[in-house]
Amino acid sequence: MKYTVITGASSGIGYETALAFAARGKNVILVARRLEKLEELKSTIQGLNPSVDVIVRTSDLSDTEQAYTLYNHLKEHQIETWINNAGLGESAFVADHHLGKVQTMLRLNIEALTILSTLYVRDYADVEGAQLINVSSALGYVIAVGSVAYSASKYYVSAFTEGLAKELELKGAKLKAKVLAPAITETEFLNKSLDTEAFDFKANMSNYHTAKEMAGFMVNLYDNDEVVGMVDHNYAFNRRDPIYPILSEF
């Protein structure tokens, strides 16, 4: 049996992506910290498509060791697609940062993503149909004043994934690496970034996407050959070739 791994699956884009892949008959491995939310999602998926196998794994990926543990526990399964969706934000000027929160964000957005991407590439580079999709942000391509640390962490995700895609291409690997760059999306993410309980998107945002819409963009990127799937300043979704300049000489 082949599986799609989705981190950060308990809510938002990860939750809707799990539903979207399961709707296609894909077996899924759901990863997040909140077991009760994962179990609820599992029940929902099995109610919609009983033939889909759903595996739940709890993990706090801001703890570097747990990233290794998660991957090692999943080595017994054949993983067709790995989606690094889990992420954390920080909305404050640098001088006002809560450094503990920023450290957690960097471990999750950068360290865990790099570890899981690297381990997956090592095992699946030559597996036909394998895909790695890393979730960055539109702020991984433009610096946002007031969210500089978050923006920089997503610059890393974008550059890392685009560069990885080029390395795989140069080696003739079968695995494809791709990056999804959402803009503002109606999820719990912004609540956590702003340290608020209920951010009112309709009252405060002229443009945004729903998590379900973003999951649709994820599937669109999955189905096509381009490396980057990005929401632009007009909130239109576009697939395109790598954006960062790449030096490919060894």
Residues annotated as catalytic are 150
| Long-range Cβ pairs for the range 153-159 (8 Å, 24+) | 153/105, 153/106, 153/109, 153/110, 154/109, 154/181, 156/109, 156/110, 157/109, 157/110, 157/113, 158/228, 158/243, 158/244, 159/244
Which one, of 181, 1, 176, lies nearest residue 85 by Cα? 181
End-to-end CA gap in the chain: 38
Amino acid at 114: T
